[in-house]
Amino acid sequence: GGGSGRPGAVAGGAGGAGGPLDGLRTALSLAGAARGTAPLYDIDEAARVDDALFVGAVTPTLVAALHRLAHGLAPLAPRDDLPFAANYLYMVTGAEPTAAQVRAIERYLICTVDHGFNASTFTARVIASTGADLVACVVGAIGALSGPLHGGAPSRALDTLDEIGSPERIDPWIREHVLAGDRIMGFGHAVYRTEDPRSRLLRGVAEDFGGDLVGFAVQVERRVVELLAELKPGRELHTNVEFYAGVVMELCGLARDMFTPTFAVARTLGWTANILEQARDSKIIRPSARYVGPPAPAPVPSP
């Protein structure tokens, strides 16, 4: 991309090959094996809740440790005197965050903790319906979240701001990419046909920080929505949660390869709630399918 010249831009994607999200899949699976996590089918509700609390607690610690190790830094143990969001930022960055950063990340984590039967949540529930252990369910959900069309958009949306670079490039950049059939990351949603309410909340969080990055993001959002309405009439394409999520996380000192892992830190709590609910139903989720391929080359003989 052309780059924006703004300080604080850190290269990196969604935590892909070798990134924190891939490491989390492996580390969490190992942690579950070391704990001896038993199949949901074989344990009672109290034991399932204990496993859920374990996963919710260990996930941010693992994410932070993997990030620091990847950058040649020693992992930091969580501090008893810091609440959840402050602890997470401290373990990642090595510095105690400001009150504004803590409040911003808390609001991000809360508004992304759960969101209906999205791809990763549905994956977790399907695995839970087999009676597998809770860690296996979460690891499967992380695999679904790693896809760019699900959890990988926050960093890509911020990359878009870098590529546009300056206000005079907004119109030509957007027109070029929309007419080429490219997806504008951070805009459009599988469910919402209006503004994503989470995006509105996070825009307010970003505006509380202020600064050049936020001002530019608001300007880009306004113009992109106008251009999408012009070029794709009737589609109702608005910002989704990822657009301002990237802005907020960057302002809180998180590198871009930590955006999707931070999403996973939040969503893990939502996944485990869904897993616990699904485990109370002993029926396996097994959708049916209808074959629509070419017919057999010869009739199947009668018995």
Catalytic center residues? 189, 242
- Residue the block writes with tokens 């087999």: 130
CA distance 232 to 140: 35
Which residues have C-beta within 8 Å of that of residue 250, sequence separation ≥ 6?
8, 9, 10, 158, 213, 256
CA distance 60 to 121: 18
User: Are 142 and 21 a contacting pair, CB within 8 Å?
Assistant: yes
Please report, as a single letter, which amino acid is at residue 268. Answer: T
Please report, as a single letter, which amino acid is at residue 276. Answer: L
* Exposure string over 113-124, b if 16+ CB within 10 A, otherwise e: eebeebbbbebb
Residue 264: burial class (beta carbons within 10 Å; 0-12, 13-18, 19+)? buried
| Cα separation values, 132 from 99, 257, 279, Å | 40, 30, 9
